[in-house]
A and B are shown apart, each in its own frame.
Chain A
Amino acid sequence: MNRSMKYIDDFRDPATAKALVERIRRDAGDAPIRLMEVCGTHTVAIARGGIRPLLSGAVAMLSGPGCPVCVTPDGYIDAAIALGRERGALLASFGDMLRVPGKSSSLEKEKGNGLEVRVVYSPLDAVTLAAATPDREVVFLGVGFETTAPAIGGAIRTAAERGVGNFSVLSSVRTIPEAMGVLAADPEVRIEGFLCPAHVSVVIGSDAYRPIARRYGIPCVVAGFEPLDILLGISMLLRQKREGVARVENEYSRVATSTGNRKAQDLIRDVFVPCDTGWRGIGVIRGSGLRIADRYASFDAEVKFDAPVVFAPEASACRCGDVLKGKILPVDCPLFGKGCVPEEPYGPCMVSGEGTCAAFFKYGA
């Protein structure tokens, strides 16, 4: 571990950071370039590193929809609560989901009222839980992107192999490139460059962003999550802009490749099939969801309990949708810091540790 920590230090070196900031400022044009970091982990790293004010005037960093908790629609939470309340299911979830508001309640509030929710750290833990409680139906709340999909798929395959019939998944798995396409096409957002996620790209490969670069003429750079990764990624986007090109580049080549992790991709293809799905604040995006394939239908909670997740967004003062699309900054939302704070979140962007509003609130970006 010691050697690896020294390795991480190389990506946090203050002198290199300073040089990169100077290069970004030199390369910047008159108006700030509008770049979007798609992934919530980038959003947090940028806020934690104090990077946004460091680049003010040169670069406007917009935060994208890449926090899975934030984009999960309230109908999903309601469906999960109903499975627990009406079907007596034992719910297993990642901890971040607990405080996400549904239409009228959250898993945390319902837990206080007796709903059984177990926090797990891996989907496989939920299979183990099901095997240990054969008289209960265990439903795992499968929320995530391409990074989490292989783990959820692996859990489903494990349950199938071991014959754990009381295990199922309420899937809310989404894919990033489709959401990026919608944002790229939105004239209100006006994205001039995408800082593409590190971990997602390890799975899907940097080639996955090629259609976006080609079709919309928007430069894409895959970047790691360390401060220097982010600064170098931004600098690479600026260089593309200056050269007038739009291609996919990979700053995170120490881990992510152009083709990604084939094994994980095969696992996803085996267990899931693409579907249209609703994103909180954005709407339905074609082909951006992963539902459980028919051959694993007995592990699909929506099929098993005949309880489909309904996507029916309601109008409210919460502007998470515009925050998720990068149209406004959290501070421009009328609820931010008033009716919506981390202890009492109103919108999903304030709930998750990776939410844009939470990052702005916590680190004062």
Chain B
Amino acid sequence: MMAAAPTLAAWPPLVAVAAGPLDAGLTYNTLVALAGVATVGFAAGVAGTLALLRRRPLVGDAAAHATLLGVGAAFLLTGRRDLPTLLAGALVSAVAALVVLVFLRRIARTRDDAATAIVIGVSFGAGLALLAGITARGLPGGAGLEQFLLGHAAALTAQDALLLAAASCATVALVAVAFKEFVLVAFDDAFAAAIGRPVGLIDTALVALVAVMVVVGLPAAGAVLVTALVVIPPVAARQWTTRAGRMLLLAGLFGLAAAVAGVLASTLRPGLATGPLVVLTAAAICVVSFAVAPERGWLWRRSTLPGGEESP
């Protein structure tokens, strides 16, 4: 670990003055962590928009609950507690959960919703059993793994934040490049297949992106609530625009705002996990969007004449 990080006071005077009111309690570390969490929030909103457009908004739920198992397994197998190792384990178990989900649906012919619920419940239970077992045996370094349940962004180091930011930027870059393909498949997969697009591959890429975001979002929101970061911002964004590109951007911004606000709010009181606050911020944005967005918002609709321009 590095020595005590420089505080804001050591920064160029302009920045110090501008950030004056925030100086209390904020260090370089915290700022980098905030920046990292901000990119994660943005990327989660972006990935979630694609999932919502494809009508599978909860696709990350099973992956999210399975991450706990991977975190525990990574710790057990390597003895290390650094974030990259634990998140790597989380990614492996997230992907495994999604594979099991596909297997249950296609080969075991389980109903979709039941399959998701089964994977969620059993994988989370297994993860919990693993973590509890680790703590019960008092393995060194095993305490604190439960931060991954509800999120604990304050524990992020600058290096961790950079890793998260890098993954998030890669996700956003991929979406930017292949945006029109994702939208094509989400809108009309029959047409997409007819013109020769590999719909299955594109869907797999989408699910992979969501899985990555779910894993990357663990420090900010925790396993139980990270799907909210992927689901809520796109729903809110849909209220404001009828263009897919703008919806994507807006969802990213909402996700960013929720992540940053949630993390900041959690510094107000020690012991408050970050996850619930991030989600509550996102929910607040969503409620506001539902109320005041032009054309679709409730307040707006109350004031238009019946049979106005609204679509059926």
A binds B: no
| B-binding residues in A (CB < 8 A) | none
